[in-house]
Amino acid sequence: MDERQLITELQKGSQNAFRHLVESFQSKVFNTVLSIVQNIEEAEDVAQEVFIEVYESVGKFKGEAKISTWIYRIATTKALEVHRKKKAVKRFAFLTSLFGEDDEIVHHPVEFEHPGVVFENKERAKVLFAHINQLPDNQKVAFSLFNVEGLSYQEISEVMQITISSVESLIFRAKTNLRKTLKDHYVNKSI
């Protein structure tokens, strides 16, 4: 089924077309979301929300971009919403603990493992994903879409609705920031 036919069938409410769409994109959506939220259970929930939104809003899809671009845009937006809420809760918990209301509230980062990482590289991947998580949101999204999902700069620019030069800049800054923080991490670890 080509993309135009898929979109037409989806807009008609075809369950088979929606099933085909989910089967085609579920692992890509899950991995994209997981790269941002870095929690398997949350990623599963967000991925479901992505497909619910796709199903509910496919009638508004005008075909100005590829359907994959549209789905990635929804996935990154929803994942960033969850990530930002989580950061806000952690900041609130930290501030609450500073004022002595409840010292137990301070959250420590959850150990994160991406299912696509080979066993031998899991320790290094944990460190890498922890540092990716510290990047500004736009750098994190661009870096993850490029390095984890393998999207081109053109595809990332369409997903993020920015210019290709902005994508290049975000990925360059993300790599620069990661080099610095990872270097600091490994230098401090060896001391």
Rounded-to-integer distance, Cα 110 and Cα 154, Å: 33
Pick the closest to residue 50 from 1, 31, 39, 64 (CA basis).
31
Pick the closest to residue 43 from 88, 80, 87, 89 (CA basis).
80
**Dihedral of the alpha carbons of 115, 120, 123, 127, in degrees to the nearest 10:** -70
End-to-end CA separation in angstroms for the chain: 58
92 residue type, one letter: F
Identify whether the C-beta of residue 7 lies closer than 8 Å to the C-beta of residue 24: no
Question: How is domain 112-191 classified at the CATH fold level?
Answer: Arc Repressor Mutant, subunit A (1.10.10)
> pLDDT band for position 85 (50/70/90)?
confident
Q: Please name the residue ranges forming H helices in 2-39.
A: 3-11, 15-37
CATH number for the segment(s) 1-83: 1.10.1740.10
- Looking at per-residue pLDDT, the higher value among 109 and 135 belongs to 135
| 129-180 pLDDT, tens digit each | 888 888 999 999 999 899 888 899 999 999 999 999 999 999 999 999 989 9
Structure tokens at 5: 């036919």
Angle at 20 between CA 17 and CA 21, to 5 degrees: 85
The pLDDT of residue 69 is above 70: yes
185 residue type, one letter: H
Identify whether the C-beta of residue 181 lies closer than 8 Å to the C-beta of residue 129: no
102 residue type, one letter: D
Q: Rounded to two decimals, what is the model's pTM? A: 0.68
Identify whether the C-beta of residue 148 lies closer than 8 Å to the C-beta of residue 32: yes
Domain regions of the chain by residue span? 1-83, 112-191
